[in-house]
Chains A and B, each alone.
Chain A
C-alpha cells in the first residue's frame, strides 16, 4: 500500500496532492471545531499510535506475521477527520524524518491511507453499528468489517494509481516510464494481496475495540460529533 517515489508519474503525483489539499483543509476545520484545545495532544497521540501500530507483528496462520495499518481504528477512536490528519502526519514523519516512503508520492499515499482508508472504513463502521450500544458485540463485528473493507477499498485506489501509469507515461516505442503494469494486473495484484492479508486488519480493529469495550468504553463514544 505504501507507494515509494518513482512508481507514479508527475501527473498522478500532482493530482493526488491537489486532491489532498481540500481534504486537509476540511479535516483541519472539522478538527478545530470539534476538538477542544485541551485535546490537541490527542491528535499527536493518534498520529504516533498509527505510526507504531504498524510496528506490531501480528501472528497469522502458517507461522508468519503481518501488520495492520490501523487507520480505521484511529478513525473509530478519534473520528474520521482527526484520523485523516493523524495518519497524514504519521506518513509525513515516515517520509521526511525517517526517509521511508515517498516524498513525491506522499499525496497519493495520504489519499489512499489517510483519506480513503479511514473515511470509507468509518462509514462502514457507522453503517453496521448503527445506534447499537457502545458495549455491544455488533460494534466489534462492525469494527472488523470496517477495517477490512477500508483496506480493500484503499488498495483498489492504489491499484488504479499504479495501473494508469503505462497509459499516461510511455515513450513513442511503448516503453513504460513508471510502474509498468496495466490496470488489470495492478488492481488484481493489489486487491488480491489485501483481500488475502486484510484479515490482520479485521482482527486487530475488532479485537482492540472489544478490549476497549471492557477496559474503558467511554473511549469508543467520545468522537460521535467529530464523525458527522
Chain B
C-alpha cells in the first residue's frame, strides 16, 4: 500500500459502533428504572416535553432559562438518574461545541454594544461587549436546556414505547412502521459492520494509505447495501408469515393517572407563562 498512511479509521468506526450499542443498553437500563418519569404515561410525557421545548425556544432571558434548567435537573433526580451521568450525557458535545461557536459573538465585531473589556491580540484591538456576553449566555443556556429536555425524554422512555406513542399521535403508519423496522436494522447493521471491519483488520493490519482506506470503507458500504438488499424480501416473507397485512397493531394500552395530568398541566403553564412574559412584557 502506498501513499500517506492514515491508520485508525477502522478502529474508530468499530469503536463508534460499540459505543452506540453500549449507550443504547445504558439508556434502556435507565428507562427501566423505578423513577418518577419512567412511570408516566408516554402520551402525556411527550406532550409535556414538547410544551417545555417550545417554552425553551420562546424564552428570551437567562432567568427563564435558568428556572427551566433547574426544573429539568429536579426531574432527572426524581427519575433516579444520577446527576453526574445526566450532566455528562447533556453537557458534553453539543453545549460545549456551541460554547466554542458563540465565543466570537461576544466581541464588538459581531455584537456591537456597551464595552466591558478591551485588549490587543497581535494587530487587533478586541472589545468584549455586554450585549455580546448576554447574547452568548442566553444562546448557550437555550441549547443546554433543549438538549437536557430531549435527553430526559429519551432516558425515561423505552424506545419501543416512544415509537408506539407516535402512532397514537396519528403520525402516518408508513413512517412509524418504517421507524420501528429501521431501529432494529440499525443494530443488525452495526453488528455486520463490526464483523466486517474486524475481519479486514485481522487480514490487512492497522495501516492503509488514504486512498486504499477509502476503497476499503466504500467497498464495505457497498457490501452492506448488497447484503441488506438481499435480506429485504426475506424480511417481508417473515412479516407475512407472522400475519402482517399492511397495518401494524399496537398491543399495549396506555393508562393515564393523576400525576400524568398534573405534569402536563405544569408544562402547559410553563409554556403559557413563557409566552405571556415574552410576548406581552418584552
Residues in chain A within 8 A of chain B (CB atoms): 4-7, 9-10, 13, 24, 28, 31-32, 37-45, 47-49, 51-53, 55-65, 70, 73, 77, 85-86, 88-90, 92-93, 95-99, 102-104, 171, 173-181, 185, 203-204, 207-208, 211-212, 215-216, 219
Contact = CB atoms under 8 A, between A and B. Distances in A.
Top 4 closest pairs, chain A to chain B, by CB: A5-B146, A44-B181, A48-B185, A59-B213
B53 A57 contact: no
Interface in B220-239: 220-226, 228-229, 231-233, 235-236, 239
Contact of A204 (B17, B144, B151, B217): B217
A28 B178 CA distance: 12
A59 to B, nearest CB: 3
B143 A63 contact: no
Given A5-B57, A6-B56, A57 B9 contact: yes
Contacts of A38: 233, 236
A215 B222 CA distance: 9
A175 B57 contact: no
A88 B228 CA distance: 19
Given A6-B147, A59-B208, A211-B222, 12 more contacts: A6-B56, A52-B186, A55-B16, A56-B193, A57-B8, A70-B221, A73-B221, A98-B154, A104-B54, A174-B113, A204-B214, A211-B223
Contact of A55 (B110, B113, B180, B193): B193
Contacts of A86: 178
Interface in B157-178: 159, 162-163, 172, 174-175, 177-178
Contacts of B139: 6, 176-180
A51 B186 contact: yes
A43 B178 contact: yes
Interface string B171-200: 010110111111101101110010000000
Contacts of A42: 229, 232
Contacts of B180: 44
Contacts of A56: 13, 193, 217, 220-221
Contacts of B134: 175
A61 B218 contact: no
B215 interface: yes
B181 A41 contact: yes
Interface residues of B, number: 92
A44 B236 CA distance: 11
Contacts of A61: 4, 6, 210
Nearest to A50: B182
16 contacts: A5-B57, A5-B150, A39-B236, A40-B177, A40-B236, A56-B221, A59-B208, A85-B178, A89-B178, A89-B179, A97-B154, A102-B146, A104-B54, A104-B57, A175-B138, A204-B221
B225 A65 contact: no
B221 A208 contact: yes
B94 interface: yes
Interface string B117-133: 00000000000000110
A158 to B, nearest CB: 13
Given A57-B9, A57-B16, A211-B222, A180 B102 contact: yes
B5 to A, nearest CB: 7
Contact of A41 (B162, B225, B232): B232
A174 B131 contact: yes
A203 B218 contact: yes
Nearest to A179: B139
B111 A44 contact: no
Given A97-B183, A171-B60, A177 B6 contact: no
A219 to B, nearest CB: 6
B165 to A, nearest CB: 10
